[in-house]
Amino acid sequence: MQPDADFSAAKLARSLLRRSRQGALATLMPGSGDPYCSLVNLASHFDGTPILLVSRLAVHTRNILADPRVSLMLDERAPGDPLEGARIMLAGTAVAAADNEAADLRRRYLNTHPSAETFVDFADFGFFRIVPSGVHLVAGFGRIVDLAASDILTDLGDADALLASESDIVAHMNADHLDTMNLYATRLLGASSADWRCTGCDPDGMDMQNGLETVRLEFPRRIVSPAALRQVLKELAAQARS
Q: Is the pLDDT confidence value at 239 over 80?
A: yes
- In this predicted model, which residue has the larger pLDDT, 19 or 82? 19
The pLDDT of residue 165 is 97
- pLDDT value for 3: 47
Phi, psi of 189 (to 5 degrees): -115, -5
| 5: pLDDT strictly greater than 60 | no
Torsion from C-alpha of 82, 88, 94, 100, nearest 10 degrees: -110
Tens digits of residue pLDDT in 41-63: 999 999 999 999 999 999 999 99
**Residue 71: per-residue pLDDT:** 98
**What is residue 124's DSSP assignment?**
T
pLDDT of residue 78: 67
Question: Positive or negative CA dihedral for 55, 51, 101, 199?
Answer: negative
Give the pLDDT confidence of 167-184 residue by residue, as tens digits: 999 999 999 999 999 999
Gap between the Cα atoms of 221 and 230, Å rounded: 13
pLDDT, greater one: 82 or 235: 235
- Is pLDDT at 23 greater than 50 in this prediction? yes
Q: Residues 70, 26: contact at Cβ < 8 Å?
A: yes
- At residue 4, the pLDDT reads 62
- pLDDT of 54 reads 97
Q: How far apart are CA 105 and CA 167, in angstroms?
A: 12
Contacts of 92 (CB under 8 A, 6+ apart): 69, 70, 71, 72, 130, 131, 132, 133, 134, 149
Q: What is the pLDDT of residues 87-146, one digit of tens each?
A: 999 999 999 999 999 999 999 999 999 999 999 999 999 999 999 999 999 987 778 999
Give me the percent of the chain exceeding a pLDDT of 90.
Answer: 89
- On average, the pLDDT of the chain sits at 94
pLDDT band at 1 (very low <50, low <70, confident <90, very high): very low
**C-beta of residue 83 within 8 angstroms of C-beta of residue 89:** no
Q: How confident is the model at residue 20, as a pLDDT?
A: 95
Q: What pTM was computed for the model?
A: 0.92
Domains in the chain, start-ordered, CATH in brackets? Answer: 9-152 (2.30.110.10), 160-241 (3.20.180.10)
Q: Given this model, what pLDDT does residue 46 score?
A: 97
